[in-house]
Structure 1
Amino acid sequence: MSTARAERLVNLVLALLSTRQYLTAERIRGIVPGYADAASDEAYYRMFERDKTELRELGIPLETGRNSAFDAIEGYRIARRDYELGEIDLAPDEAAAVGLAVRLWDSPELTGQAQGALVKLRAAGVEVDDQAPTVVEPRVRAEPAFGPLLAAVQNGQAVRFEYRRSGSPERMMRTLEPWGVVSWRARWYVVGHDRDRGATRCFRLSRLTGQVKPVGRAGEVRRPDGINLLQLVSVTGEAEQAPVATARIWVADGRAAGVRRRGTVVGRSHADGEEGDVVEIALYFPESAADWVAAHGPDVLVLEPDVLAKAVGDRLEAIVAQQTRDAHQGSQW
């Protein structure tokens, strides 16, 4: 963004915050520095429309309305109650969790939103360290359809997309009233009312092909009360699939509670002189198990199968190599 445009946006925000009345576009043109330079009325309105879009994308609540029933033209303002953040008080561990969450998403559009939230917290005086070192760098990879579907859920709008069923190359168009997007067994699903079938359906995001297109008006779709999205996915989202492998994993005492919840303790053992439990876990998706196990770092050790142990080792070595490169680049600065 150019310096001139940034200054114009700041001036626009200040003007709309400083008034209780709705300011028309013409009034804004006369009082906000930067708009008077527009070569024509058409050029000004194009500039103003771009600026309004920019403010809304930044999360600034831009209101439209009329000051009285006799006004023929709508105006704009920013309600201070909606613009200003309330007092935020995060404990040190909560602030650390926020910083980690910012680094969690491995998706450009979601990373941008997380960074925007971080900026707002810092502006409110909350110290958040998003560069704190961690043993393992976690990542959540979202499918390309994740963003459009999440936006449709938030807007209450139906969508259309092409979908490929499991084990079939055939693609069919589906029209869905989405209620939510959830993760289950390392897979993303969208849940909603399938208009084509007239029933509740779950669709795995990795099988959506092409673009997700919104249809109809926003606000038409509402999630029914009492719906448990995760339960629906667990029942219909390939719940009938049997585990394809069993892993034996050593877990340090008092650590990696997530591994313990997914498996069964079958014995005791030690690794590098540290005591722990041996846990057996049924693997439904072996290809994603390595990422999940590696996220626990030195708190777990894969005993078998060898292919999983090697995959986890490769991921940990890649993390160490990346941290070494980052440290080397930092020292150069």
Structure 2
Amino acid sequence: MASRNVERLLNVIMTIGSRPRRGIDRATLFEAIPEYAAAATQDAAEKMFERDKTAIRELGLPLRTERHDLWDENIVHYRLDTDAGGDDLHLSEGEYTVLLAASRAWDDAAAGGAARRVRSKLLSQGLDADTDLLRRTPRGSVESLPVLTPLLEAVSTGSRVSFAYRSARGERTDRTVEPWVVGVHEGHWYVLGHDLAREGTRVFKASRIESFPRIGGPISHPREEGMTLETALAGMTAHEDRARARLRIEPYKALALRDAAGASLRAREVELPAMPRSAALRQVRANARWITLVDPPAWRDALASAYAEIARLHTGQADLARIEDAPVRRPAAIRRSTSGADHLSRLVSLASYVLSRGEVEVSQLAEDFGISQKELIADLQILFVCGDFATGWEQDLIEVTWEDGFVRVRNADALRRALSLTAAEATALLAGLAALEPVAGEEAELVASARAKLLARLGTAAPGEDEAEPPTDAAASPVTDPAADGASDGAPKVELSRSEQILDALHRAIREDRPVVIRYSPPDRSGTSVRSVAPRQVESSAGRSYLRADCALAQDERLFRLDRIAEILPEGTPQHRDDGAAADADPGPGSRPGSEARGSGGRLEEDAWVRLEGPAMWIAEAFAAAELRDAPGGGTLARLATPVLGALVDAVMEAAGAAEVLAPASLRDLIVTTAEQAGARHTGVEAIG
């Protein structure tokens, strides 16, 4: 049941909006709306109406205040400006479709108001989506966090914000920040702004905010010129030495590094472009089984030391008593609630959506708005009791029917309008588009044009516009050039990279509903497999891109990470799975990042306990830790529920000693073997021969 506030606001909107030319005077409105008339005092009614006016304008409706009586300025009229339609984006069918796809990047149940309202407002536009394009548009996902709505609103309004924050080292502190940008980088949300306590620019990871942010007064430190989220993150490694690392790589392995170096699939010697030492060594450690770093010598020595430390940490039996002694860390209690503004936005959008189409099936309407049919019927029952309350003795209520399975709305022309996006809602859509961009393929031009219109809606100097910048790592984020197909305008064909060619072929296969043959490089064994797959969807999640496809060899649906698809092979190429193949598919959207697709194998049969220092806390997030405990003496103990064996080994190697597996013992032994073998390749003559 909706709150009385939502019903009152709907009645106010209907009562004002039913008089589009001259509107309604204040005195008549106050007599017509029961809550105003029943207020204890005139002052109480005035305050209630002032709050309602703010809510209506924040909803995106053009409420105007006018004085028509030249002799009496106290007579005020209110109307909804029919000439100021909310569809200020002027979207094409294709742009509207990709924005709908971008709105799916959010789990609106977890993310909060901005995520919930943005899809409702898009649907209120009254436009028709290209259903075939919507089916083919890639799925992207970004973190859905309840803290995002107040953070986005703080940026939009230029307000400071306070919250409890757990640092990378696991320390919980209270922070007050003047936020400049709330944006997405590699699938994760960050806040960039001025930290008042530390008197300097700081970057905060939104997933580590452990209280609902409180919005405070106006900011006093303006954003520095040229300061963006990307430049701030890059500045963290600006002091490091840079070099062109020379690597030995097993054929078909570390494909993203090969692409960055412009190397072939089988090349054993690869030279990377110049990059900071920490970035290069982290990528090498994450592929420790397949890569030997040859130059620079100092970097090779650092790798040998890191591998030796990993082996030392995992030699012998772990002290499991510290798990039992460690207190359980309670999860952050951050409220997830639907506000009246979210509900009101959906009610108005429902009416507008049905009015623009005449009638809509109950099941289709519920699916389009992402709610259950039970919730939909409850919404329709609210519309049924609302209307124009200033028509005389009887109220002129909205007419709603749904008994025959089709929803029809009549007598609600005041709601037949598109709702404008606020800055926070436009920013949420920009983040959704950023999640689509790495896998947009043939839809890249539509994504770019929709993004440009959102940025124009925000204004050239709008807060938060940087979060939609496409990722700069081309190897990890392949995007097809819109001009690559050719030549409607006679432009020369652009040469596509290997990863772009693969993405282009997969999008064509999805559009034409036909299978392709792929060579896939599995993460935990040498060699490759060749598979005929029927592509269904290209998806992205947390900075990774995946292909969801029906695999003929497995006779089941599988997820394949795009950066492990080595090449597209000619139709009819024989399929094969290398000896010992157990896990060819990858975790992806809809599954835990540390777990594999059903039936693909390679997963531990028991939970793993891992001790994490600050620099390795990302492992708890990446594997969706089932439980966290405060380790005696500092650090965090994380229980990972039946994680993928190969993925966890790679993560521990990447963490360079900041992560120690405590159990099971068999996994500790495997890590010792992996670390010792990698270390041997980085010492002595063998490493430089």
Relative to the length of structure 2, the TM-score reads 0.35
Is the CA contact 1:98–1:128 (under 8 Å) kept in the aligned structure 2? no
> Which position in structure 1 is the counterpart of 2:300?
none
For 1:113 and 1:171, the matched residues in 2 are separated by 32
- Do the aligned residues in 1 keep the contact of 2:164 with 2:174 (CA within 8 Å)? yes
Q: Which of 239, 245, 248 lines up with 2:286 in the alignment?
A: 245
Larger radius of gyration: 2
Question: C-alpha distance in 2, partners of 1:142/1:203?
Answer: 16
Partner-residue secondary structure (3-state), 2:212: strand
Q: Tell me how far apart the structure 2 counterparts of residues 167 and 307 of structure 1 sit (CA, whole Å).
A: 34
What secondary structure is seen at the aligned counterpart in 2 of 1:152? helix
Distance 2:88 2:519 in 1: 43
Shift of 1:156: 0.3
Looking at structure 1, the residues matched to 236 and 172 of structure 2 have their Cα atoms a distance apart, in angstroms, of 20
The number of aligned residues is 293
1:199-254 deviation per Cα after TM superposition (whole angstroms, max 9, x unaligned) = 1111111111212112224x756434433232212333998562352399xxxxx8
The separation in 2 between residues aligned to 1:118 and 1:203, in whole angstroms, is 30
TM-score, scaled to structure 1: 0.65
Quote how far apart the aligned CAs of 1:97 are: 0.5
Mapped pair 1:18 → 2:21: yes
Higher strand share: 1
Q: Matches of residues 1-333 of structure 1 in structure 2 within 5 Å?
A: 5=8, 6-15=10-19, 17-19=20-22, 23=25, 25-30=26-31, 33-35=32-34, 38-42=37-41, 44-45=45-46, 48=49, 51-62=52-63, 77=78, 80=81, 83-85=84-86, 89-108=90-109, 109-122=113-126, 126-128=127-129, 132-134=134-136, 137-168=139-170, 170-217=171-218, 222-236=222-236, 240=278, 242-243=282-283, 244-246=285-287, 261-262=475-476, 274=517, 292-293=543-544, 295-298=546-549, 302=564, 309-312=585-588, 315=591
Whole-Å separation in 2 of the counterparts to 1:117 and 1:44: 29
**Equivalent residue of 1:193, what SS?**
strand
Quickly say closer, same or farther: Cα 1:215–1:14, change in 2 above 3 A: same
Structure 2: distance between partners of 1:296 and 1:207: 30
1:276-325 per-residue CA deviation (whole Å, 9 max, x = no partner) reads 79799xxxxxxxx976545443485647997783424984968xxxxxxx
Output the amino acid matched with 1:309.
A
Residue 53 of structure 1, CA deviation: 4.8
The amino acid of 1:138's aligned partner reads G
The aligned amino acid for 1:154 is S
Cα 1:72/1:119, change in 2 over 3 Å:
same
Contact kept in structure 2, 1:178 and 1:221, CA below 8 Å: no
Unmatched segments (≥5 aa) in structure 2:
239-275, 291-440, 445-470, 478-496, 507-514, 524-539, 550-559, 567-580, 599-689
Closer, same or farther: CA 116–275 of 1 in aligned 2, 3 Å: closer
**1:102–1:130 CA contact under 8 A, matched in 2:** no
Contact 1:160–1:214 (CA<8 Å) still a contact in 2? yes
1:193 offset after TM fit, Å? 1.2
Residues 93 and 130 of structure 2 are in contact (CA less than 8 Å); yes or no, is this contact kept in structure 1?
no
Larger RCO, structures 1/2 (Cα 8 Å, 6+ apart): 2
Shift of 1:117: 2.4
Task: Write the letter of the residue equivalent to 2:286.
Answer: A
| Alignment root-mean-square deviation, CA | 5.0
The percent of aligned pairs where both chains have the same amino acid is 24
Query: Structure 1 residues 59 and 130 mapped into 2: Cα distance closer, same or farther (>3 Å)?
Result: farther
Shift of 1:121: 1.7
In structure 1, distance between residues paired with 2:84 and 2:548: 41
Change over 3 Å in CA distance of 1:201–1:291 after alignment to 2: closer
Tell me how far 1:49 sits from its aligned partner.
5.1
**Alpha-carbon contact 1:160-1:174 (below 8 Å) kept:** yes
1:45-80 Cα shifts (integer Å, max 9, x gaps): 576356435423422244568889x98979574573
Q: CA deviation at 1:190?
A: 0.4
